[in-house]
Copies of this chain bind each other. A is one copy, B any other.
Amino acid sequence: MVAVMCSHTRPKSARTGRTGRPRSVEADAAILEATRAALVELGWSKLTMGDVATRAGVAKTTLYRRWTNKNELVVDAVAVLFDELELPDRGSLVADVEGVVLQFAALLARPEARTALMAVVAESTCDDALRVRIRSAIVDRQKRLVVQGRERAQARGELPYEEDPGAAARNTDLIFDVVAGAVVHRALVSAEPVDDEWARRFTLLLVSGIGSLQN
C-alpha cells in the first residue's frame, strides 16, 4: 500500500535536462519532513515557507524550485500519511469496518495530519487546482479501502455481488463519504473522541444501512 507510485507528489522534481548540478534528493525529504514538523508546532496559518526552508537547512529558492506554493507543498507532505491506512482481514465486515474507523481516528489524532488535511481542504474551497490535487493524491487513493472491504465481504457471503458496475461505484462513493465524513466530523468538528464504543455504534448503523442499499 505504501508502495503506491508517488511521482505525482514531486511533479517539478523530474529531471528535465541532464547537464548541471543534479538536485539534492536529501533536500526533498528534508523539506517534506520539515513541513510536517512545522505543521505540528505552528498549525497551517502560522507555517511559513521561510521557516520550512530554515528547518530543512535549505534555501527558500530550493523550496520554490520544487513546489509553487504552500498548498501544494502541504498536500504532498501529508498525502503519504494516508497511505499508511490498511484493511487487515478481521474475519467479518463489521470487524473490518470497526478496524478501519479506529485506524483513521488514530491518524486524525496526529496533529500534522488533522491540521494539514483540514487546511488543504479549506483552501480547496476556492482553488480548483488544489481540489483536483487533493482528490488524486488523497481521496481517490483511499477508496481502495472500501472496494477491498466489499470484495472481502462478498467473498465471505456477507454481501451479494453487484451486477451493475455503475451502482457499485456510486455505493463505493457513498460509503466512503459516510465513513470518512462521520469520522472527521466527530473528531474535528464535534471534537469528541472516536473510541471503541463510538466505532461500534457507528459501524452498526453503517452496516445495517448498507444492507438496505442492495435492493
Contacts and interface: CB of A to CB of B under 8 A. Distances in A.
Interface of A: 42-45, 111, 114-115, 118-119, 121-127, 131, 134-135, 139, 170-171, 173-174, 176-178, 180-186, 188-192, 198, 201-202, 204-213
Q: Tell me the dominant secondary structure on chain A's binding face.
A: helix
A45 B177 contact: no
A189 B182 contact: no
Q: Which of A111, A183, A209, A213 has the most CB of B within 10 A?
A: A209
B177 A186 contact: yes
Nearest to A140: B190
B190 A45 contact: no
A183 to B, nearest CB: 7
A190 B212 contact: no
Contacts of A174: 198, 201-202, 205
A123 B181 CA distance: 18
5 contacts: A122-B122, A177-B182, A178-B205, A181-B184, A208-B209
A119 to B, nearest CB: 4
The 4 lowest CB-CB distance pairs between A and B, nearest first, are A181-B185, A181-B181, A43-B126, A209-B209
Contacts of A115: 122, 125-126
Contacts of A211: 208
A44 B207 CA distance: 37
Q: Which of A123, A127, A210 has the most CB of B within 10 A?
A: A123
Nearest to A71: B45
A183 B182 CA distance: 9
A191 B135 contact: yes
Nearest to A176: B190
A182 B121 CA distance: 15
Given A44-B126, A182-B181, A211-B208, A121 B190 contact: no
